[in-house]
């Protein structure tokens, strides 16, 4: 017996051109809202969550990123009420991780489970989560995850497949060059441009790009004169941050984890008002940021952790991350706040200048003097 199942995305995507701009989502033919909603930071206040999701849809946001696993397993429960009666033409992506033992049955059950929680009939996008090039054999194993996704697509349960993760950029380029994926979701912002080569390659290949953490998880919420100068914009840092991400022509949507109505209103306003074609010169913005980065010269910590553990317990990479955001991007307030959050046992105050970290560091960074600089300026 054969029967027809309507494709999962046969309806047009929701839009509100008065309040939102739209961009092509890779080569899917879909027009995704420039601002999308990451549901991983929804609050404990369910009334607020419901209002936020519903209001975002009213503003024309048509992409919501979810997984059953965020917020201690409650993310999709918190998202679902706001979607009620409004999910038509809206992309709500689900996500599930994989491992060598994951079977086709288990992955299929997970898709169904997430749909059930969200109250949806299908996923327009489903993401292979926490993915890396090393997991490709697990993905493609016969009787495994890819078979589940292929059948779900055939049945209209899933329309498009993307992936998300934190692997090395060159590995993610290999992932998108397989041609298996319609989108990828990676962190991208003013202070973390490490995935820019992947985003460029995605643009060439017609793979949609969801840029997450556009304000670097709140790091870019404080003022920075250095960033204003580098980007030639006199705007609040959060607005510059969103503009920078949207100025990249290969970014399909900037996915912000929002949990207040004010944040949503500000981001919607920025996404609506910012026209990358006339309001920005992306190359000039990148040049400005590269200039800042060059000022740090060789004192750039890659976070490789070869210097760890420090015999005095100092969390070296954490301090040098703060050092970079302070020295390069002028995020003074952020640096002070972050230093205060470091437990006493891991603080720079414990450094006895032994020099072991300099020996261990492949970049021969003079860590003790950088820590000293932090101490002089922030103690």
Q: Which stretch binds ligand SF4 (CB under 6 A): 15-23, 41-49, 276-284, 308-316?
A: 308-316
Q: CB nearer to ligand SF4: give 231 or 351.
A: 351
* Cβ neighbours, 10 Å, residue 338: 18
Which of 16, 221, 263, 363 lies at the binding interface for ligand SF4 (CB under 6 A)?
363
CA distance 16 to 185: 24
Comparison of 105 and 306: residue with beta carbon closer to ligand SF4: 306
CB of 218 to ligand SF4, least distance (A): 23
Region near ligand SF4 per CB under 6 A, out of 71-79, 85-93, 237-245, 316-324:
316-324
Q: Does 309 bind ligand SF4 (CB under 6 A)?
A: no
> Which element (helix H / strand E) includes 377?
helix 367-378
* 71 binds ligand SF4, rule: CB under 6 A: no
| Cβ proximity to ligand SF4, 56 vs 361, nearer residue | 361
Where are any strands of DSSP class E within the chain? 22-24, 31-33, 35-38, 63-65, 91-97, 123-129, 158-164, 183-187, 208-212, 253-257
Contacts of 300 (CB under 8 A, 6+ apart): 293, 324, 363, 365
| Contact window for ligand SF4 (CB under 6 A) among 127-135, 145-153, 160-168, 311-319 | 311-319
Bridge partners of residue 123, in order along the sequence: 158
Please provide residue 102's backbone torsions phi and psi, each rounded to the nearest 5 degrees. -70, 130
Contact 336, 312 (CB under 8 A): no
N- to C-terminal Cα distance for the chain?
Answer: 75
Contact pick of 5, 304, 345, 349 for ligand SF4 (by CB under 6 A): 304
Q: Decide: is 310 part of the binding site for ligand SF4 (CB under 6 A).
A: yes
Closest approach of ligand SF4 to the CB of residue 370, in Å:
8
- Residue 248 in contact with residue 282, Cβ under 8 Å? yes
Binding span for ligand SF4 by CB under 6 A among 73-81, 227-235, 270-278, 359-367:
359-367
368 sits near ligand SF4 (criterion: CB under 6 A):
yes
Residues 325-354 that bind ligand SF4 (CB under 6 A): 351-354
Q: Total residues contacting ligand SF4 (rule CB under 6 A)?
A: 27
Tell me the CB-side half-sphere exposure of residue 270, using CA atoms within 13 A.
26
Pattern 7-46, binding to ligand SF4, x per CB under 6 A? ----------------------------------------
The reply on whether position 320 binds ligand SF4 by CB under 6 A is yes
Contact status, residue 225 vs residue 201, Cβ threshold 8 Å:
no
Identify which range of 38-46, 101-109, 137-145, 361-369 contacts ligand SF4 by CB under 6 A. Answer: 361-369
Sign of CA dihedral 282, 318, 237, 242: positive
DSSP letters for 45-92: -HHHHHHHHHHHHHTT--EEE--TTHHHHTHHHHHHHHHTTT-TT-EE
With vertex at residue 214, the alpha carbon angle to CA 90 and CA 254, rounded to the nearest 5 degrees, is 25
Among 52, 149, 292, 357, binds ligand SF4 (CB under 6 A): 357
Q: Which of residues 174 and 293 has its CB atom nearest to ligand SF4 in the complex?
A: 293
Query: Which stretches of the chain bind ligand SF4, using CB under 6 A?
Result: 301-307, 310-312, 314, 316-317, 320, 351-357, 360-361, 363, 365, 367-368
């Amino acid at each position: 017996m054969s029967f027809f199942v309507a494709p999962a995305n046969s309806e047009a995507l929701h839009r509100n051109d008065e309040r939102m701009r739209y961009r092509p989502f890779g080569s899917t033919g879909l027009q995704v809202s420039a601002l999308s909603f990451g549901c991983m930071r929804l609050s404990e206040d369910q009334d607020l969550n419901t209002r936020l999701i519903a209001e975002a849809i009213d503003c024309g946001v048509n992409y919501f990123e979810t997984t059953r696993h965020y917020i201690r397993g409650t993310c999709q429960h918190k998202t679902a009420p706001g979607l009620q009666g409004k999910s038509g033409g809206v992309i709500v992506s689900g996500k599930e991780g994989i491992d060598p033992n994951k079977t086709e049955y288990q992955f299929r059950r997970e898709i169904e489970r997430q749909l059930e929680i969200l109250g949806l009939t299908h996923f327009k996008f489903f993401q292979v989560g926490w993915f890396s090039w090393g997991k490709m054999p697990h993905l493609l194993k016969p009787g495994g995850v890819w078979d589940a996704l292929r059948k779900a697509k055939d049945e209209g349960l899933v329309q498009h497949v993307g992936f998300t993760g934190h692997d090395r950029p060159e590995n993610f380029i290999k992932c998108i060059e397989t041609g298996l994926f319609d989108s990828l979701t990676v962190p991208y912002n003013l202070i973390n441009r490490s995935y820019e080569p992947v985003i460029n390659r995605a643009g060439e290949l017609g793979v949609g790009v969801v840029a997450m953490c556009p304000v670097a998880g709140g790091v870019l919420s404080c003022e920075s004169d250095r960033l204003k100068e580098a980007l030639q914009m006199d705007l609040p840092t959060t607005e510059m941050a969103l503009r920078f991400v949207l100025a990249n022509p290969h970014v399909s949507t900037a996915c912000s984890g929002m949990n207040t109505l004010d944040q949503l209103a500000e981001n919607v306003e920025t996404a609506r008002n910012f026209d990358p074609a006339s309001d920005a010169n992306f190359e000039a913005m990148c040049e400005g940021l590269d200039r800042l980065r060059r000022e740090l010269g060789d004192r750039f910590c890659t976070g490789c952790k070869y210097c760890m553990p420090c015999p005095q317990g100092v969390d070296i990479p954490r301090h040098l991350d703060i050092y970079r955001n302070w020295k390069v991007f002028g995020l003074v307030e952020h640096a002070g706040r972050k230093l205060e959050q470091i437990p006493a046992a891991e603080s720079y105050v414990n450094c006895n200048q032994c020099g072991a970290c300099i020996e261990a560091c492949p970049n021969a960074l003079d860590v003790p003097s950088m820590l000293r600089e932090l101490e002089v300026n922030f103690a």
